[in-house]
Structure 1
Amino acid sequence: MQRSHALVVSALVLVSGTAVTAHAADGDRFAGPAAHSRSAAASWCEKQGGVAQTRVPYFTGTGNKITPLGGEREMCLFTAEDGSRIMIATDTLAADRPTLAALAYVRRPDGPSSPGNPSIAYCQGINGTAMFGNKPTDGGGWGVRNETDPSKAISACMFGDGSVIDAWGLKYHQGGVIRGADLTKKFRADIPAA
């Protein structure tokens, strides 16, 4: 039975074009940042003290206009008593192996400073992107469905492996400030510090 389950998973992986590694011993665990089922990743988020939410991307540009984009992503939101927060994709938090976002959070690499938005400059300086266009005024972020306030779209840093983390939370943590929660021990994967 486990072998046929593994074959079905392998076939689905090949059809979807997603490169992941299935662990037949426990059925629902996968290796990549986008590979966990929503329920398994959301469950991990909640076990760590976060709240799993489906968020959609928004283009904000300049002014008060907000434009919903296609797609959605399940995010894990941690909020501290002081009101600060940090958001991370549930599949990034629950990945079985280190992701680039997790490594950036734990290792806190040096990055450039900028007269503009320091969170975006830091994200780009460590090979991620938080941009929603090619102009400096092109902005965006992740918000709840049907959001109308551009300030509520949370800017996120996305890396080449598809992992996603709150851009401001990442920048603040690099400077030694914890927002929302310290994620260092909340990742499912063992993240090497150096």
Structure 2
Amino acid sequence: MKRSRALAVSVLVLVSGTAATANAAGTAHGHPVAAPARHAVSADAAWCEQQGGKAETRVPYYTGTGNKITPLGGEREMCVFSAGDDSKIMIAADTLAADKPTLAALAYVRKPAGPSSPGNPSIAYCQGINGTAMFGNRPTDGGGWGPRAETDPSKATSACMFADGSVIDAWGLKYHQGGVIRGADLTKKFRAAIPGA
């Protein structure tokens, strides 16, 4: 009986992924000790955090007008960089960690000229360099990416998405094009070698 119990504890510890979490006898108060579950970190999230960012799962929201916010389907792992002046920049973790240049990375590093607009300059700039930050076809349609269960439309970060699926903070992109760094300078944080960097 003791041998089968020891075997059960050994299997439990092996399945949990770490033997260090069980005490020397492999039991606590006569019962097997299981290791705490670990949250698997993706390679993209790991790259984000190595660069000084914080990996967060974000979901898309339609904000329309007023205080209404509607969660949409899907989710994306984003990398958020924050600075001491409370500015932030968000980029999709897979965009930052891509092995090859992405359109978002090229737009950030090369700072192409774009149109100015009396409306939202970040959306106009994004569209002017062939991305989209729109969540509909009317000027009042809005949206962005925010934490799960968000209720405040202002917390949804507007993001510019390109044809290759790469995503970057629309305001962060526009400010960088104008010479202002928000959150962190991403130029040397991309895994891929970006031409023009």
Query: What range describes the TM-score normalised by the shorter chain of this pair?
Result: 0.7 to 0.9
Using the size of structure 2 for normalisation, the TM-score is 0.79
What amino acid maps onto 2:184 in structure 1?
A
After superposition, give the CA deviation of every residue in 1:117-165 in whole Å (9 maximum; x if it has no partner).
0000000000000000010110000000000000000000000000000
What amino acid maps onto 2:169 in structure 1?
D
Determine the structure 2 residue equivalent to 1:150.
Answer: 153
Q: Matched residues in 2 for 1:113 and 1:38: separation?
A: 40
Determine the structure 1 residue equivalent to 2:123.
Answer: 120
**1:76 aligned residue (75, 79, 83):** 79
Are 2:139 and 1:136 equivalent residues in the alignment? yes
Determine the structure 1 residue equivalent to 2:180.
Answer: 177
Determine the structure 2 residue equivalent to 1:42.
Answer: 45
Are 2:169 and 1:166 equivalent residues in the alignment? yes
Using the size of structure 1 for normalisation, the TM-score is 0.80
Q: Matched residues in 2 for 1:175 and 1:38: separation?
A: 34
Q: Matched residues in 2 for 1:169 and 1:74: separation?
A: 17
What amino acid maps onto 2:181 in structure 1?
I
Does the C-alpha gap of structure 1 residues 38 and 95 become closer, same or farther in structure 2, counting only changes over 3 Å? farther
After superposition, give the CA deviation of every residue in 1:85-142 in whole Å (9 maximum; x if it has no partner).
0000000000000000000000000000000000000000000000000101100000
- SS at structure 1 position matched to 2:73: coil
Q: Matched residues in 2 for 1:97 and 1:113: separation?
A: 30
Determine the structure 1 residue equivalent to 2:194.
Answer: 191
Does the C-alpha gap of structure 1 residues 38 and 124 become closer, same or farther in structure 2, counting only changes over 3 Å? farther
CA displacement at 1:38 relative to structure 2? 6.4
What amino acid maps onto 1:54 in structure 2?
T
- SS at structure 1 position matched to 2:60: strand
What amino acid maps onto 2:120 in structure 1?
N
After superposition, give the CA deviation of every residue in 1:42-65 in whole Å (9 maximum; x if it has no partner).
000000000000000000000000
What percent of counterpart residues are identical?
Answer: 85
- SS at structure 2 position matched to 1:53: strand
Q: Matched residues in 2 for 1:170 and 1:157: separation?
A: 8
**1:58 aligned residue (55, 61, 74):** 61
What amino acid maps onto 1:88 in structure 2?
I
Number of aligned residues:
158
Q: Matched residues in 1 for 2:64 and 2:108: separation?
A: 27
